[in-house]
Structure 1
């Protein structure tokens, strides 16, 4: 059963401006080491790569109903790739705890993520499914 959905639309130019203005401070505050490494491998689309991940963090925070408060921080939400190559989320700290809190007893949460971009926009959708254990 679907227990939550969230979406976000992010302007790639806004992320590029944040990178130019705040540089490493912005990267360290918002993105995991894995996300930073992925973006570094894509120098011509670095801002777009990060914008999709920024949108994914926002979409997840909306899906769990907290935004970035109640102990849910941006770096607790990391975009990673499954062995198939599909994007998904690696959750730690308050984000993982919030996911556990909204998951019904006797179920496990499965996070589905889709990302897309078409300059100047990046978009993410998160669907959280509860599967019986």
Structure 2
């Protein structure tokens, strides 16, 4: 039998992420990102664009898995990492999901007011 594929996509209004950060500060970041992701975003010229892209990535992978942001999937189930060329991918932190990071392909983009993530999951 061939590979079964699932997709997930999410778009986030960066202004909404910025408002959440202004309201809740680091508590917001610590709720939705891992420490490594926070460190990565803090080094970027526009930190909130990078935060929004990671937010969208986690939403998109939760859709590809089929759980949404519930039923065992949480903000810290996965972590977005970048290779030396900047290409994003996932590190799966919650092994109970039953997926491996190399089975998930991720594309991120942000421009203007929006960040978008697209996920292709091979099952």
Matches within 5 A, 1:1-133: 1-42=3-44, 44-93=45-94, 96-100=95-99, 110-130=103-123
How much has 1:46 moved relative to structure 2?
A: 0.5
How much has 1:83 moved relative to structure 2?
A: 4.5
Q: Give the secondary-structure state (helix, strand or coil) at the position aligned to 2:48.
A: helix
**CA distance change for structure 1 residues 124 and 22 in 2, over 3 Å: closer, same or farther?**
same
**CA distance change for structure 1 residues 76 and 50 in 2, over 3 Å: closer, same or farther?**
same
Cα RMSD after superposing both structures: 1.8
The 2-side partners of 1:29 and 1:69 are apart by 14
TM-score with structure 1 setting the length: 0.83
What stretches of structure 2 of length at least 5 have no aligned partner? none
Q: Give the secondary-structure state (helix, strand or coil) at the position aligned to 2:59.
A: helix
Aligned residue pairs total 121
1:99/1:109 contact within 8 Å kept: no
1:64/1:99 contact within 8 Å kept: no
The 2-side partners of 1:38 and 1:109 are apart by 21
The 2-side partners of 1:97 and 1:119 are apart by 36
Q: Give the secondary-structure state (helix, strand or coil) at the position aligned to 2:76.
A: helix
